[in-house]
Chain A
Amino acid sequence: MTMRHRLIKKALLFIPLVLFLILGIAFYSQLGKNTQYMPSALIGQKVPAFNLISLNSDQIITQDDLPNTPYLINFWGTWCPACHVEHPFLTTLADDGVVIVGIDYKDEKALAKQWLEEKGDPYLMVLMDEIGHFGVDMGITGAPETFVVNSSGAIVYRLQGVVSESNWSTIQGYLK
């Protein structure tokens, strides 16, 4: 065996170690990340087209009726326990002037009306998505879910779960 052969053989024996170390770095970078976090597939896109009935006015509302300022789209339902938790915070946001479009997701009209009367109505408008088709178009997996739409009408952020004090600063960062 020549000197060169030996060197090559020596170098080859280090390959497993090197591969392992690379893998180790990848693992390290993933540690502590929230693997449950799912970015929305609609980021950067306009809100998909819809025809939904308004809870308050019984009129058909389409995507053209959405606000021109930055706003939130909040999916909720009276059947959803976490929405009870979320509601008071949404109310304080509304009091601070945050525009929220509510989607009453897979719910009954009477129950929803009663809920808003009892707990207060933080929404600019509430649209009824009784069968959940609009929810599927928005790619939601349950309620509550909240989308941030910016001033040019593009979806920029999605949160699965309760909007609260702890994640509000992140959401606010997108709301412009």
Chain B
Amino acid sequence: MITARIVFCWVVLFFALPGIAQELLTFSSTLNQTRYQNLIEELRCPKCQNQNLADSASGIAVDLREQVHQMIEANKSDQEIVDYMVARYGEFVLYRPIHSSATFLLWYGPFILLGIGLFTFVLVVMANRKKRGAKL
């Protein structure tokens, strides 16, 4: 499993940003800090392909975290920030896919399956009761 997380963009040497110090941010309120934390955990780093912005150490992730921070402190809503990212990096950056007709099966599929499963349960139990009735 960890082999999977060996998150070295193979491009590291060839395609890189300068090493930048980790930003240490201040927030005007704890609400803003929580919003920031939640947002950077739900946005995917567009470069190192399987990390969120919070976890990634790549240069672009640092820039985008900074951007999120600025926008939060400039009183932008979460939706505005998400739209901003999607306009530039596509829906790929959303770890929580947008609800749409194309993602209907993704979001509701499990619950449809659950419904089918419970229906099957009732069906099997009923069938067994009938059988039992026939036997008795």
Chain A interface (Cβ < 8 Å from any Cβ of B)? 36, 38-42, 77, 79-82, 85, 106, 132, 135-144, 160-162
Of A106, A138, A162, the contact of B17 (CB 8 Å cutoff): A106
Partner of A39 from B47, B60, B90 at Cβ < 8 Å: B90
What is the count of residue pairs linking A and B with beta-carbon distances less than 8 angstroms?
61
Residues of B within 8 A of A85 (CB): 14
Q: Which of A38, A81, A132, A135 contacts B16 (CB 8 A)?
A: A81
Q: How far is the CB of B22 from chain A (nearest CB, A)?
A: 16
Contact A161 B15 (CB under 8 A): yes
Contacts of B63 in A (CB 8 A): 132, 135-136
Q: How many angstroms between the C-alpha atoms of A54 and B63 in the bound complex?
A: 23
Contacts of A82 in B (CB 8 A): 13-16
Q: Which residues of A contact B14 (CB under 8 A)?
A: 81-82, 85, 161-162
Kindly identify which residue among A39, A136, A138, A161 contacts B11, using a CB–CB cutoff of 8 Å: A161
Least CB distance, A154 to chain B, in whole angstroms: 15
**Complex CA distance for A42 and B11, rounded to whole angstroms:** 23
Considering the chains assembled together, what is the distance between the CA atoms of A114 and B35 in angstroms? 43
Q: Are A81 and B13 in contact (CB under 8 A)?
A: yes
Q: Please determine whether B46 and A141 come into contact, CB atoms closer than 8 angstroms.
A: yes
Residues of A within 8 A of B11 (CB): 142, 161
- When distances are taken between beta carbons in the complex, the residues of chain A under 8 Å from B106 are none
13 pairs, CB–CB < 8 Å, chain A vs chain B: A77-B18, A80-B15, A80-B16, A81-B13, A136-B67, A137-B88, A139-B46, A139-B89, A139-B90, A141-B46, A142-B60, A144-B15, A161-B11
Question: Once bound together, how far apart are the Cα atoms of A137 and B67, in whole Å?
Answer: 11
| Contact, CB under 8 Å: B49 / A41 | no
A141 and B16 form a contact (CB under 8 A): no
Residues of chain B with a CB closer than 8 A to A162's CB: 14
B64 at the interface (CB under 8 A from A): yes
Given contacts A79-B18, A143-B16, A143-B17, 5 further A-B contacts (CB under 8 A): A40-B90, A77-B18, A136-B64, A141-B46, A142-B58
Q: Which residue of chain A lies nearest to B62 when distances are taken between CB atoms in the complex? A: A132
List residues of chain B with CB within 8 A of the CB of A41.
86-90
